[in-house]
């Protein structure tokens, strides 16, 4: 038992990870999306599994594959991702929200392909639901909630603001200013803040190694 505890410290725990972009439909053939590859989220799901957790990966459109046996729920839109997350949230101990969820979606989705016209086209967008904030509101004492913050400027303040406002236990700051960080890249550079606003800065590493650092930070607080 001691050996299991050492190599699989998350044995008996359930975890949920979101990954990838969301696609918000404009019409049957078009959408609003982003360049998230899903790599970071898939790496975290793998690492949590390696540490013994039973992991459900809720993935937006992505070509990534898991290297470990994880449960997978494929979703397309922010609303789909919200539905999947809230359907299992009360069963999980650890939640890591890595997905690049669209903040806005077209207010109306055209049933037919929108035809090209003489003039410019204006799309009206409405806000999507903030999944992480919603989970932060219903989080129970025993649950660990980890969010990401993708920033280009004033990054530490924005990250700490999100940590507090979304009621998180940890926030992983992903600064797009850093070389070797970003959506398509195989590497990432992160800074983690805990609830006490204590900061840990990490070097540029492969996303697999970054996932290890994130999971170690989670192990420290559970
Ligand atoms: N997130 C979410 N649902 C949304 C938007 C974001 O769950 N509709 C989550 C992301 O998965 C991430 C965290 O919230 O863990 C922060 O996302 P980010 O885009 O950095 O922050 P926002 O709160 O959306 O604010 P902004 O984009 O304006 O910086
Ligand atoms: Ca956002």
Model confidence over 98-126: pLDDT tens digits? 999 999 999 999 999 999 999 999 999 99
Which of 22-26, 27-31, 152-156 comes out lowest in average pLDDT? 152-156
Q: Where are the domains of the chain?
A: 2-102+126-221
Q: Where is the binding site for CTP, in residues?
A: 103, 113, 148, 162, 166
* Residue 177 clears pLDDT 90, i.e. is over it: no
* ipTM reported for the complex, 2 dp: 0.98
Residues 6+ apart with CB under 8 A from 142: 93
How much of the chain, in percent, has pLDDT values that exceed 90? 91
Cα 127 to ligand 2 centre (Å): 10
134 neighbors 127 (Cβ within 8 angstroms):
no
pTM (two decimals): 0.96
Q: Whose CA is nearest to atom 12 of ligand 1?
A: 148
Predicted confidence at residue 7, as pLDDT, reads 87
Residues 199 and 156: beta-carbon distance below 8 Å: yes
Which positions are annotated as active-site residues?
Answer: 34
Instruction: Find out whether 193 and 210 touch, Cβ atoms under 8 Å.
Output: no
Dump strand ranges (E) for 99-183.
Answer: 104-106, 125-127, 144-151, 170-175
CATH of domain 2-102+126-221: 3.40.50.10300
pLDDT band at 217 (very low <50, low <70, confident <90, very high): very high
């Amino acid at each position: 038992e001691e050996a299991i505890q050492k190599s699989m410290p998350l044995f008996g725990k359930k975890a949920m990870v979101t990954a990838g972009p969301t696609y918000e439909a404009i019409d049957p053939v078009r959408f609003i999306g982003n360049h998230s590859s899903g790599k970071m989220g898939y790496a975290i799901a793998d690492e949590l599994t390696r540490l013994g957790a039973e992991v459900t990966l809720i993935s937006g459109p992505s070509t990534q594959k898991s290297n470990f046996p994880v449960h997978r729920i494929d979703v397309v839109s922010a609303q789909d991702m919200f539905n999947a997350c809230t359907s299992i949230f009360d069963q999980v101990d650890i939640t890591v929200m890595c997905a690049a969820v669209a903040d806005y979606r077209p207010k109306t989705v055209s049933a037919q392909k929108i035809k090209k016209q003489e003039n410019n086209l204006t799309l009206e967008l409405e806000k999507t639901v903030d999944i992480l904030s919603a989970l932060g509101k219903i989080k129970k004492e025993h649950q660990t909630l980890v969010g990401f913050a993708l920033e280009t400027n004033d990054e530490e303040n924005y990250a700490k603001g999100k940590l507090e406002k979304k009621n998180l236990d940890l926030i992983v700051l992903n600064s797009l200013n850093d070389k070797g960080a970003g959506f398509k890249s195989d590497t990432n550079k992160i800074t983690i803040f805990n609830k006490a606003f204590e900061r840990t800065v990490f070097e540029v590493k492969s996303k697999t190694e970054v996932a290890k650092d994130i999971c170690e930070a989670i192990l420290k607080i559970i």
